[in-house]
Chain A
Amino acid sequence: MAYIAGAYEHPTRDAGDKTLAQLQIESALGALADAGLSKSDVDGFFCGPDAPGTGPLSIADYMNLDLRHVDTTNTSGSSYVLHVAHAAQAIAAGKCNVALITLAGRPRADGRRKGAIVRNDSPAQPDYQWEQPFGMQILNMYGMTAMRHRALYGTTSEQLAWIRVAASEHAKHNELAMIRKPVTVEEVVQSPLVADPLRRLDCCITSDGGGAVIVTRPEIAKSLAMGRFRPCVRVKGSGERPQHQQGGYFEITESGAVVSGRTAFAEARVRPADIKYVSLYDSFTITVLIQLEDLGFCAKGQGGRFVMDGNLISGIGKLPFNTDGGGLCNNHPGARGGMTKIIEAVRQVRGEAHPAVQVPNCDLALVNAIGGQLGVRHASGTLILERE
């Protein structure tokens, strides 16, 4: 089993003149410094399509990394969660000792504000002609997912709003959060409809920045942690699951988290009730609700009831989530939310989260991300992290 020895969230939310390559190396060096390692220790490099150039090549060249293992698995926003699992596998197989995983994005500086994310769909995709002409967008795919969940289970806008409220109650403690002002359920349900039944405040922010994590061998992680008088963060279980339209017979209210979660829990030999904190990729409020159900924190259809009355707020509820404010309020660099979810989970397991939101005795945390789009094609990645 491998360990996460370093984690770093880039402090910027608007990159200005900083290039993607600069954001990549600043994030990488931040994570290495957090681990107590240097660039020359890195022998494995994992990145997503946010890294400019052919796969890992341009950024490896820019940073002048001396590598013997690379992985550019791309499942959009969940890529980085899968990278942690793949890094652990590569380390176990002896393919590398110190794996660097990076993310950087600058959609704001590039003028691509929320709702204007450039998509890379090509007519060579077999699905293209059956979807793109009809105006398929990220927004309406999640909108349809929320609409069907409402029709099947009676989930209300007020229930979804509680997810935003919880995120905002956490973000108010985070000096770097893009939106720090707490909101009420009433404010969320009175915000304008954008894609029925989702409203403006059901949607995440878009920000510039990045992040990086370091995954390494047990003996290296333990000696580094000992030198810094802090606990180790062990990758205790992982799972991944691409999910799609299955030939036209599908249920959009059920995500790949059913399988990725089951796989991770089985590997970690723990149950949902053992988890003290969850980081869930909150592209929209509905994404959080569906992950909670599919990971087994409540029964299918009960997510609306589960999130009500502050149940996700640290210090108040049973299952604190996204204590940094998440993608709804804090940070969503490059519209890829997996990385920041890992980083906040590492803080929680180490006991290094903001004191106002630190979960007491947080010995077991779960990270889940849905990359791509609920409602059509996505990949879910799950990690279970343990304090040691």
Chain B
Amino acid sequence: MTGRIPSDPQPTAETQPFWDAAREGRFLVKRCRACTKAHWYPRTHCPFCASADTEWTEASGGGTIYSYSVMRRAEPVYVMAYVTLDEGPTMMTNLVDCDPDALAVGARVRIVYKPSTGGFAMPMFSPVPEVRS
């Protein structure tokens, strides 16, 4: 089954480094050097302390499902989601390569890139199989 193909993000000068890194499989999150907090979505000025001293840092790509909603009438069906990154902030994304009926808030997910219509690498997430000890 082919999933929904995302539209192009239309990067700006403020965000181009994110999309360039994504093409190389690196997931960048903006972090503030002044207050040390990571934020989403990435911007020049820290949304907490307003410092312009923010830097791109490579994130782990791990997170948990904050919430999700299955678009049942869309063709193809897709899963809208918020994922809370291990670095702290929560981002809007899609859950892919998954059974929409087997998802749960709080479940572990990992980043996976899917191409947009124009070939951008879009950060999406898929469930991590549970490890049994």
Chain A residues with CB under 8 Å of chain B are 115, 123, 126-137, 139-141, 143-148, 151-152, 192-198, 245-250, 252, 375-376
Contact = CB atoms under 8 A, between A and B. Distances in A.
Contacts of A146: 69
A248 B89 contact: yes
Interface size class of B (residues with CB under 8 A): 35 or more
B67 A249 contact: no
Chain B interface mostly: loop
Contacts of B119: none
A199 to B, nearest CB: 9
Contact of A195 (B4, B72, B93): B72
Contacts, number: 122
B12 interface: yes
B9 interface: yes
Given A128-B9, A147-B67, 9 more contacts: A128-B10, A134-B6, A143-B69, A192-B73, A247-B39, A247-B48, A248-B91, A252-B67, A376-B92
B105 A147 contact: yes
B99 to A, nearest CB: 13
Contacts of B46: 247
Contact of A144 (B7, B38, B39, B81): B81
Contacts of B89: 247-249
B71 A140 contact: yes
Contact of B70 (A128, A132, A151, A193): A193
Contacts of A141: 80
Contacts of A198: 69
Contacts of B116: 133
B91 to A, nearest CB: 7
A147 to B, nearest CB: 5
16 contacts: A130-B40, A133-B7, A133-B8, A134-B6, A134-B124, A135-B4, A135-B6, A140-B71, A144-B82, A194-B71, A194-B73, A195-B80, A196-B100, A245-B40, A247-B40, A247-B48
A147 B106 CA distance: 12
Contacts of B15: 129
A15 to B, nearest CB: 26
A248 B67 contact: no
A196 B94 CA distance: 14
